[in-house]
């Protein structure tokens, strides 16, 4: 497949936009479509050899946060490219596609040693700021771009100190409600474990505690794109969409809900919607200063319901009533058992 000069120029333009994180969905799909259709890596190789200087002069070397972001995006692209090839062709094209993939990594991420030597531009270190909320506490933050973030208890938000200068990239561990300031030139990117969430301007809730079995995204306003690196999953969520992902099995469900139920925690209200008991116990330990221990053969019972500023004991009693379990209390420790 031979590129014309016009096609080559358009490809360069798309790659520049992609590196700068300014690609629209249509432009990204156009670039991906080109990669799917071409049977030769020569055009990419040509761009690497002849146009790299021009691209890097306009874009600059990606910082560490953008580099990680590009790596994650590339994993998804790599999966999609593999799926376009039929099994009987894969072996014969394996070397060609491997070289193409390597070239795309170099171009999109700018991390090859030879590229840095060519540019004589050492990688710069990036410093980060971190916001944390303690157990039982909720923290509200206003970011430099005007975005408001509410952190639930035992959560943390990490962002580069140059946030909003060239990109808007943050890392979340735990749960947070985001009210993102709109900026079509700088998508707001949230990385949480294997999940990457991309928005322009919207409000939504993300629950992604490292120790929990499930992670979830619930949209209040606007549109949210969710990518899961390990699952080759890319979904678009609209207002009242609720995406729940089982991190152990990679199974997911997308449902329509009342989104206000999923940010009730901001007002101190506990809300459970078919959550495994083991995850409910973890949430109780994050919210209250007492220790709750679950000791039974299975913790897979599903818990639903809202608890409006009730004491921990009242919540535990409700859980035991629903599941048929019992509890005993010794000081600040509550043991739930059969």
3-state secondary structure of 38: coil
> What's the confidence (pLDDT) of residue 97?
40
8 A C-beta contact, residue 21 and residue 186: yes
Cα 63 from chain centroid (whole Å): 18
The CATH number corresponding to 128-262 among 3.40.50.720, 3.40.50.2300, 3.40.50.12780, 2.60.120.1440 equals 2.60.120.1440
* Per-residue pLDDT tens digits for 7-30: 666 776 776 666 656 667 777 777
* Per-residue pLDDT tens digits for 265-312: 999 899 988 888 988 999 999 988 789 999 887 778 889 988 886 788
Q: Which of 210, 175, 189 is nearest to 147 (CA)?
A: 189
Q: Which of 261, 182, 186 is nearest to 216 (CA)?
A: 261
Rounded (5°) CA angle 250-302-226? 35
Positive or negative: CA dihedral 110, 112, 113, 119: negative
In which residue ranges of the chain is CATH 2.60.120.1440 found?
128-262
Q: Which of 21, 128, 33 is nearest to 67 (CA)?
A: 21
With b meaning 16 or more CB within 10 Å and e meaning fewer, what string describes 178-214? bbbbeeeebbbbbbbbbbbbbbbbbbbbbbbbeebbb
Distance CA 267, CA 47 (A): 54
Distance CA 247, CA 251 (A): 8
8 A C-beta contact, residue 245 and residue 279: no
Q: Which of 29-33, 132-136, 147-151, 242-246 has the highest mean pLDDT?
A: 147-151
* Per-residue pLDDT tens digits for 220-238: 999 999 988 666 678 889 9
pTM here?
0.64
Write the CATH number of the domain with boundaries 268-337: 3.55.50.30
Mean pLDDT of 208-216: 89
> Residue 192: which H helix or E strand, with range?
strand 188-192
Task: Give alpha helix (H) positions in 288-329.
Answer: 312-323
């Amino acid at each position: 497949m031979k590129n014309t000069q016009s096609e080559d120029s358009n490809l360069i333009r798309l790659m520049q936009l992609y590196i700068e994180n300014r690609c629209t969905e249509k432009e990204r799909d156009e670039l991906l479509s080109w990669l799917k259709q071409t049977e030769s890596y020569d055009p990419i190789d040509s761009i690497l050899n002849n146009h790299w200087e021009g691209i890097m002069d306009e874009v600059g070397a990606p910082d560490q946060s953008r580099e990680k972001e590009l790596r994650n995006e590339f994993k998804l692209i790599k999966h999609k490219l593999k799926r376009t090839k039929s099994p009987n062709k894969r072996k014969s094209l394996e070397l060609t596609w491997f070289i193409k993939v390597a070239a795309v990594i170099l171009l999109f991420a700018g991390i090859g040693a030879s590229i840095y030597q060519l540019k004589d531009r050492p990688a710069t270190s990036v410093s980060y700021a971190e916001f944390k909320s303690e157990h039982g506490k909720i923290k509200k933050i206003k970011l430099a771009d005007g975005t408001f973030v509410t952190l639930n208890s035992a959560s943390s938000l990490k962002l580069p100190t140059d946030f909003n200068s060239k990109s808007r990239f943050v890392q979340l561990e735990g749960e947070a409600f985001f009210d993102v300031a709109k900026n079509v030139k700088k998508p707001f990117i949230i990385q949480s474990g294997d999940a990457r969430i991309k928005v322009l301007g919207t409000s939504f809730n993300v629950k992604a505690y490292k120790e929990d079995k499930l992670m979830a995204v619930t949209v209040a306003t606007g549109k949210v794109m969710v990518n899961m690196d390990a699952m080759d999953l890319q979904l678009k969520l609209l207002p009242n969409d609720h995406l729940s992902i089982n991190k152990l099995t990679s199974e997911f469900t997308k449902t329509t809900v009342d989104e206000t139920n999923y940010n009730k925690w901001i007002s101190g209200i506990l809300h459970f919607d078919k959550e495994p008991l083991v995850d409910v116990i973890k949430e109780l330990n994050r919210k209250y200063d007492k220790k709750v221990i679950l000791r039974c053969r299975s913790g897979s019972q599903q818990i639903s319901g809202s608890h409006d500023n009730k004491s921990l004991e009242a919540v535990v009693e409700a859980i035991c009533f629903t599941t048929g379990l019992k509890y005993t209390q010794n000081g600040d420790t509550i043991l739930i058992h059969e």
